[in-house]
Amino acid sequence: MTFKTNSTFMLQGFVTKKGTGIQLFGDYSDLGLLYETIHQLANVLDEHHERTAGQHQLLMNFAYEVRHTRQGNRLKEKFKLEDDEITYFGAQFTWVDILIFTSLLRSRAGYCMLDKLQQSSLYLLEHVIERTLRKYVPVHAENLVSVINGAIPFDHPYTFLIYQKTHSEFLLLPLGNKARMKTLYNLLWENYHPFSKPHVDFVKQLEKTAKENACKVIELEQTEFPEIVW
């Protein structure tokens, strides 16, 4: 299949068939720069420290997908740009995943020195996601764009477990219903906001489970997830 694009941007975004996420495509060099930028931001996080381990794990998950995308292990499509046909490498991300990954990148960028090229990679990623969101759900886009801009508080030590909970809850929402994008914003806010009842209840549940299993909360891990129907 060949996609036509009038965009001069090297990253491209498309909504998946069922609206569950976004397909991101890029060329080898731009994906390489994005991978480098993610690692630059992740490397300043201590993967063994309780308060930063979850953030580090989230960024490593994103970096893993970008690396395999760049290696051609996910999707490949031909794009027609004017008179040229270019092969782009792509991957699919659920909306909840890409919003959390990008929000965390923006949050960490405020604490890490990025050069102008790395900053451009981050801005381009944000731009493509925002543009795709505005086309797909213009009514709900503004709230979701605020998430991209770093609105999620990630400094909780259980942030990775909160991510897994939010990921699962989003996938259980009705397929093909754009209203679930409004629900997604509410899920992100409720699960990550430290004073919301769902957040407080989940933390209590985690601590109870950890006590029953004689382990630390950060040693817990969700192992079963709903099937992703793209």
User: Is residue 103 assigned to a domain?
Assistant: yes
The DSSP 8-state label assigned to residue 150 in this structure reads I
User: Is residue 68 assigned to a domain?
Assistant: yes
- Confidence tier at 79 by pLDDT (50, 70, 90): confident
Q: What dihedral do alpha carbons 129, 134, 136, 140 form, nearest 10°?
A: 110
Instruction: Provide the percentage of residues in the chain whose pLDDT is more than 70.
Output: 96
Q: Which residue has the higher pLDDT, 177 or 113?
A: 113
**How many whole angstroms from its chain centre is CA 163?**
10
Mean pLDDT for the stretch of residues 143-167: 94
- Confidence tier at 4 by pLDDT (50, 70, 90): low
User: Is residue 166 assigned to a domain?
Assistant: no
User: Is residue 197 assigned to a domain?
Assistant: no
Phi, psi for residue 194 in degrees, rounded to 5: -65, -20
Nearest to 58 by CA among 13, 29, 93, 22: 93
Quote the tokens at residue 98: 């890409």
Number of domains the chain contains: 1
Mean pLDDT for the stretch of residues 67-89: 90
User: Is residue 196 assigned to a domain?
Assistant: no
Interval 11-30: pLDDT, tens: 999 999 999 999 999 999 99
- Confidence tier at 7 by pLDDT (50, 70, 90): low
Residues shown for the chain: 230
Domain, as residue range, for 44: 2-155
Residue 149 scores a pLDDT above 70: yes
User: Is residue 199 assigned to a domain?
Assistant: no
User: Is residue 19 assigned to a domain?
Assistant: yes
Tokens 């990623």, located at residue:
125
User: Is residue 111 assigned to a domain?
Assistant: yes
What is the pTM (predicted TM-score) of this model?
0.93
The greatest distance separating any two alpha carbons of the chain, rounded to the nearest whole angstrom, comes to: 64
Residue 176 scores a pLDDT above 90: no
Nearest to 220 by CA among 205, 199, 200, 230: 205
C-alpha span between 57 and 182 (Å, rounded): 27
